[in-house]
Amino acid sequence: MTLAVTNLTIARGGLPVLADVSFVLETGQALILRGPNGVGKTTLLRTIAGLQPSLNGTVAGAQDQIAYAAHSDGLKAMLSVTENLTFWAEVFGQSDISHALKAFELENLSDRLAGTLSAGQKRRLGLARLLVTGRPIWVLDEPTVSLDTASVTMFAAAVVAHLNSGGMALIATHIDLGIEQASLLDLTPFIALNDVAMGSSDEEFL
C-alpha cells in the first residue's frame, strides 16, 4: 500500500503557497512535515485529505484511506467520552472503542462529558478518535498541541503501534516525537515563487 503525492501545487486564498511537492509513503512509514509558519502545512494536509482541491498534481492512494485530525477535533462538549468515540467509530463502520480508550489512558474518564475535560485530555480524546476509524493513513496537523511530555510519549507510542500494524502517518509537527520509522520532509524548498505561480486562480487577471 502506497500514498503517492506527485507534483502537488496548492493554493491558499487564491495564491499558490507550495509547488511541485512530491513524496511517496509506504506501509509502515511516517513522514514528518517541517517548515516555517505560513508555509502551507495545513493546506497541504487538507489537500491530501481531499478537503481542498489542488491547483496541480495528483494524490494517489488516499481515497477512503485517510483519518484526518486537525486543531478542532469534532468533539461535542455535551457528549461523554464514550459517546464521542462510539459516534466516530460507527461513522467509520467500526464498533470497538476500548483499545482507543486504553491507548490514550482515557478509561477513567470514559463517562465524563467531553466539555469537562482539560485541554490536554480533549486532545487525547481527539487523537483516540484516529484509532476507532480503522483507516490506515493518519494525516495529523500539529497533533501535540496542549499535550504534556507524558502524553506526547503516549501519542508517539500510538503512532509507532499504528505503523507496526501496517499503517502510515503524515504529521506536521515541530517537536521531535522520537519515532524511528519517521523521515523528515522540509517544505521550504517547495515554497511557490511568483514566476512559477502556475494556475493560480487570479493568474489570468495579471
Partner 1 sequence: MKALLIRDIRLAVRAGGGFGLGLAFFLIVIVMVPFAVGADTELLSKIAPGVLWIGALLACLLSLDRLLALDFEDGTLDLLATAPLPFEAALSVKSLAHWITTGLPLVIAAPVLGVLMNLPTQCYGWLVLSLLLGTPALSVIGTFGAALTVGIKRGGLLLSLLVLPLYVPTLIFGAESARRGAVGADVSTPMLLLAGISAAAIALMPFASAAVLKVNLR
Partner 2 sequence: MSLWEYANPVKFLRLSERVLPTMWVLAISSTFVGLVWGFFFTPDDIRQGSTVKIIYIHVPAALMAINAWFMMLVASLIWLIRRHHVSALAAKAAAPVGVVMTLIALITGAIWGQPMWGTWWVWDPRLTSFLILFLFYLGYIALWEAIEDSDTAADLTAVLCMVGSVFAVLSRYAVNFWNQGLHQGTSIPVATGERSVADVFFVPLLISMVGFGLLFLALTLYRTGTEIRMRRIKALLAREGRN
For the chain, the straight-line distance linking the first and the last C-alpha, in angstroms and rounded, comes to 42
Helix H or strand E encompassing 59: strand 56-60
Q: What share of the chain is helix, strand, coil (3-state, %, to 5)?
A: 35, 25, 40
Q: Under the criterion CB under 8 A, does residue 204 sit at the interface with partner 2?
A: yes
Contact letters for partner 2, residues 173-202 (x by CB under 8 A): ---------------------x--x--xxx
Q: Residue 19: name the closest of 193, 206, 202, 203 by CA.
A: 193
Residue selected from 1, 7, 14, 161 as contacting partner 2 according to rule CB under 8 A: 14
Collapsing DSSP to helix, strand or coil, 196 comes out as: helix
User: According to the binding rule CB under 8 A, does residue 6 interact with partner 1?
Assistant: no
- Name the binder of 72 from partner 2, partner 1, none, CB < 5-8 A by kind: partner 1
Task: Choose from partner 2, partner 1, none: what does 14 bind? Cβ within 5-8 Å by kind.
Answer: partner 2
Buried b (16+ CB within 10 A) or exposed e, 29-38: bbbbbebeee
Considering the rule CB under 8 A, would residue 99 count as an interface residue with partner 1?
no
Helix axes 119-133, 81-91, angle to 10 degrees: 30
Judged by beta carbon distances under 5 to 8 A according to partner kind, the member of partner 1, partner 2, none in contact with residue 13 is partner 2
Whole-number Å distance between alpha carbons of 51 and 45:
9
Give the range of 18-26, 43-51, 152-160, 178-186 binding partner 1 by CB under 8 A.
43-51
Choices 75-83, 104-112, 178-186, 188-196 (CB under 8 A): range interacting with partner 1: 75-83
Among 15, 145, 152, 157, which residue interacts with partner 2 (rule: CB under 8 A)? 15
| Cα–Cα distance, 71 to 15 (Å, whole number) | 23
Query: Are the CB atoms for 10 and 18 separated by under 8 Å?
Result: yes
According to CB under 8 A, which one of 88, 104, 138, 155 is a site residue for partner 1? Answer: 88
Nearest residue (CB) to partner 2, 46 versus 124: 46
User: Could you list the residues that contact partner 1 (CB under 8 A)?
Assistant: 46, 49-53, 64, 66-68, 70-76, 78-79, 83, 86-88, 90-93, 129
User: Could you list the residues that contact partner 2 (CB under 8 A)?
Assistant: 13-15, 194, 197, 200-206
